[in-house]
Amino acid sequence: FHKDGFLVLEQFFSAEECDSMRSQIQKIIAGMEVPPHCRTEFSTREEEQLQAQGSSDYFLTSGDKIRFFFEKGVLDGKGNFLIPKEKSVSKIGHALHAYDPVFKQITHSPKVQDLGRKLGLERPVVVQSMYIFKSLLAVTPHQDATFLHTEPLGRILGFWIALEDATQENGCLWFIPGSHTNGITRRMVRAASGASTCVEFVGSEPAYDDKQFIPLPISKGGLILIHGEVVHKSELNSSDSSRHAFTFHVMEAKGTTWSKENWLQPTPELPFPSLYT
């Protein structure tokens, strides 16, 4: 993990644990009622991100709620679904770990806490969680610390759980080994009040060499640990099968300052909960 910036742990969760998360998300979608003015498309491309997420505080205020973000092109001009709603969702975030009993149990499971201790985390807190459907979208190369900035850097850790086999065909993650040692060159920050978007990007993303990325296919139940500064991406899902994943981010809170400019902020209703229970 320290050398490459990521670590693959196969069969970390059981098939039953994965199925319980998938079944729970189906219940959440079945009860999904999203007001038309809040229907936000999720995008990882900078211009689209600023347009879709930045113009809507639905995204900005989702840190302490369970909210829905949609694939591109699934809504008409009035915000009505063009396809069945269960196929329209790109991700659900960002507080499943706090408000849903199934995802809370997984996030704070003894084996996750044990892993935190093995990594030497003293005061880890959970900052956000997401259920990712990966129907189509490619995710452009990025570093999680671009979006979740800390002083000093190196205090953010992602836990990415494959709820189905993740293959090169259905959009597994790709990494540049060792790229977590180069710092970050770009940040997404809250825009000044009165700006046309809620967030803006500061700095620029370097051009990455495609040849440096290696694919990390992983079986259902596998866990990938992701350093906050390692460069990673996923390609389009070109298969007929889905690639569901549950992911959450942890910050080592000891001696760490969470940036006030981050889009995600703890709230009085939901301070970042301790990973250790």
Q: What is the pLDDT of residues 200-218, one digit of tens each?
A: 999 998 999 999 999 999 9
Residue type, 200: E
Q: What is the 3-state secondary structure (H, E, C) of 158-215?
A: EEEEECCCECCCCCCEEECCCHHHCCCCEEEEECCCCCCCCEEEEECCCCCCHHHCEE
Give the tens place of pLDDT for each residue, 124-148.
999 999 999 987 778 899 999 999 9
How far apart CA 205 and CA 184 sit, in angstroms, is 9
How far apart CA 204 and CA 179 sit, in angstroms, is 16
Helix or strand run (H / E) with residue 78: none
> Three-class SS of residue 97?
helix
Model pLDDT, residue 37: 52
Q: Give the dihedral sign, CA 207/212/215/221.
A: negative
How many Cβ atoms are within 10 Å of 145's Cβ, its own excluded? 22
Between the alpha carbon of residue 228 and those of residues 80, 90, 158, 222, 248, the distances in Å are: 36, 22, 7, 19, 12
Rounded to a whole number, what is the distance in angstroms from the first to the last CA of the chain? 25
How far apart CA 217 and CA 212 sit, in angstroms, is 16
Give the tens place of pLDDT for each residue, 47-94.
665 555 544 677 888 999 999 888 777 877 677 788 888 788 889 999
- Contacts (Cβ under 8 Å, ≥6 apart) of 109: none
Q: Quick one: average pLDDT of 149-154?
A: 97
Higher pLDDT, 34 or 101: 101
- Asked if 176 contacts 213 with a C-beta cutoff of 8 angstroms, the reply is yes
pLDDT above 80 for 41:
no
Give the tens place of pLDDT for each residue, 252-262.
999 999 999 99
Model pLDDT, residue 145: 97
Q: Which residues pair with 232 in a beta bridge?
A: 142, 175
Task: Tell me, yes or no, if the pTM score tops 0.85.
Answer: yes
How far apart CA 85 and CA 182 sit, in angstroms, is 41
Q: Indicate the pLDDT class of residue 122, thresholds 50, 70 and 90.
A: very high
The β-bridge relationship of strands 139-142 and 223-227 is unpaired
- Asked if 250 contacts 116 with a C-beta cutoff of 8 angstroms, the reply is yes
Between the alpha carbon of residue 150 and those of residues 120, 168, 250, 251, the distances in Å are: 18, 32, 12, 9
User: How far from chain centre, in Å, is Cα 233?
Assistant: 12
Kindly compute the dihedral angle of the four CA atoms of residues 135, 237, 48, 185, in this order, to the nearest 10 degrees. 130
Domains of the chain are: 6-258 (2.60.120.620)
Model pLDDT, residue 58: 78
